[in-house]
Structure formats: C-alpha cells, structure tokens
C-alpha cells in the first residue's frame, strides 16, 4: 500500500519528518498495561517462573513495539470478542521519499504456529518436554522477495492457559478455544495474550499467562 502526501520539494526533508512523526502518533498511542499474570498451579521452582515471566515480558514488549508502527486500519481489523485472531497482519511504513513525500508501505505479520518438528497430535515430537508446543513468529515484508521470518518466542502453549479445544470458554475470558497467542479488539484497545510453558526440575508442567493492552487512538493520518 502506498500513500502519497501532498507537498513540495522546498519544504524539504524536515517537513516530511514532522509529518511522519505526526502520522505515527495518530495511529497508536503507545500505552500498554499488563493487566494480569497468573499461574495455573503453584510450584516451588521460582527460577522457572522468573524465566517464563521474563520471556513473556520480552515478547509482549516486542509485539507492542512492532505494532506501534502499524497503521490504524491494520489494528482495527482485528476481531472482537468472542472472536479472536492467532495472527495479526499489519501495514508498516517502510520508507519515505524525501523528494516527493511518497510513503511506501510494507506488510508484516506476527502470529503463532507449531514449533519446528511439532504437530497437533498430543505428543512431544520435538522432545523438548512440551506437547504440541508453539512459537511466536514475526514475518517481515510478507509476500515479497525480502520476506524474513524471526522466531520471537518458543515454548508457547497450543492453547491459552486453562483453555481446551471444545467449543467452550474454559478459562472464563469470553474467548472460546483461543490459542496460546491471541489478539482481540476491545473498544479502543488491542488485547494481546500469551501463555508460556516450561518443565520444572521435577518434570511438572508450569504455565504462565501475560496479558497486555495496547490503546489505539482514534484519529486519521494527516
């Protein structure tokens, strides 16, 4: 998608930079709030818990940072409860022609998929101790020759903590059968939830969940 701003060369690159900054401010307000972290079970292994929480915070911050550069339309296309999306595809400004003011957009995607070697078969095929575990993947420049895939996080649950594939909302968050990473629009907020899993030193499963809200500012680009 390409958008061309009106303007003249005499305004120079400084004006373009100002417009670009204003446009980004109009799309998303970068306020995120972590509204909950929970544990399905209590375990003595504080080290694993600390590790999982650190990784969840990292990936949540990374997703937030990526979406800060997304167009408003991309965010507003996300499903609202009880629907949800395991993937978000968004337009991002790739470059601005300083001579003409033409803005070139590119498409990125963040989503959850099964880990390498793992399928939905109820067994631990990749032998990492987790059953049907998933990863969060960022794909840059989707559908182009420059397309790149980056794994942002491993050990993601197949379903969000407390959820099972049965058509019902098992964990009481309104969403049904939501996956271990899911996106939901709620009014002016984009809610991102992720559940990470790990095995304790006594071979018990630990699962933690992180929920982040990104507040979307209503407004249009200049």
Query: Least separation, in Å, of the C-beta of 119 and Ca ion?
Result: 5
Query: Least separation, in Å, of the C-beta of 111 and Ca ion?
Result: 18
Decide if 201 contacts 44 (C-beta within 8 A): no
Cβ nearer to Ca ion, comparing 91 with 118: 118
Query: Least separation, in Å, of the C-beta of 197 and Ca ion?
Result: 13
Written in H, E and C, the secondary structure of 68-130 is HCECHHHHHCCCECCCCECEEEEEEEEEECCCCCEEEEEEEEEEEEECCCCCCCCCCCCCCCC
Query: Least separation, in Å, of the C-beta of 125 and Ca ion?
Result: 4
Cβ nearer to Ca ion, comparing 23 with 182: 182
Query: Least separation, in Å, of the C-beta of 75 and Ca ion?
Result: 22
Q: Which residues bind to Ca ion, rule: CB under 5 A?
A: 118, 121, 123, 125, 132, 163-164, 166, 168-171, 173, 175, 177
Query: Least separation, in Å, of the C-beta of 61 and Ca ion?
Result: 24
Cβ nearer to Ca ion, comparing 1 with 174: 174
Cβ nearer to Ca ion, comparing 9 with 186: 186
Cβ nearer to Ca ion, comparing 163 with 211: 163
Provide Rg for the chain, Cα atoms. 20
Cβ nearer to Ca ion, comparing 66 with 163: 163
């Amino acid at each position: 998608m390409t958008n061309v701003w009106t303007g003249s060369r005499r305004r120079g690159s400084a004006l373009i930079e100002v417009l670009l900054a204003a446009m980004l401010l109009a799309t998303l307000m970068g306020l995120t709030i972590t509204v909950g972290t929970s544990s399905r079970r209590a375990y003595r292994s504080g080290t694993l818990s600390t590790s999982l929480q650190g990784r969840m915070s990292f990936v949540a911050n990374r997703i937030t940072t990526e979406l800060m550069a997304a167009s408003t339309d991309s965010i507003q296309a996300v499903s609202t409860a009880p629907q949800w999306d395991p993937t978000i595809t968004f337009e991002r400004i790739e470059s601005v022609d300083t001579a003409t003011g033409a803005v070139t957009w590119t498409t990125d995607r963040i989503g959850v998929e099964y880990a390498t070697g793992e399928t939905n078969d109820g067994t631990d095929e990749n032998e990492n101790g987790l059953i049907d575990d998933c990863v969060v993947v960022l794909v840059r420049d989707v559908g182009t020759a420059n397309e790149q895939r980056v794994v942002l996080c491993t050990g993601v649950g197949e379903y969000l903590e407390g959820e099972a594939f049965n058509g019902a909302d098992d964990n009481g968050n309104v969403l049904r059968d939501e996956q271990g990473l899911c996106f939901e629009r709620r009014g002016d907020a984009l809610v991102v939830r992720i559940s990470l899993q790990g095995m304790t030193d006594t071979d018990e499963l630990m699962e933690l969940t992180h929920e982040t809200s990104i507040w979307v500012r209503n407004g249009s680009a200049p």
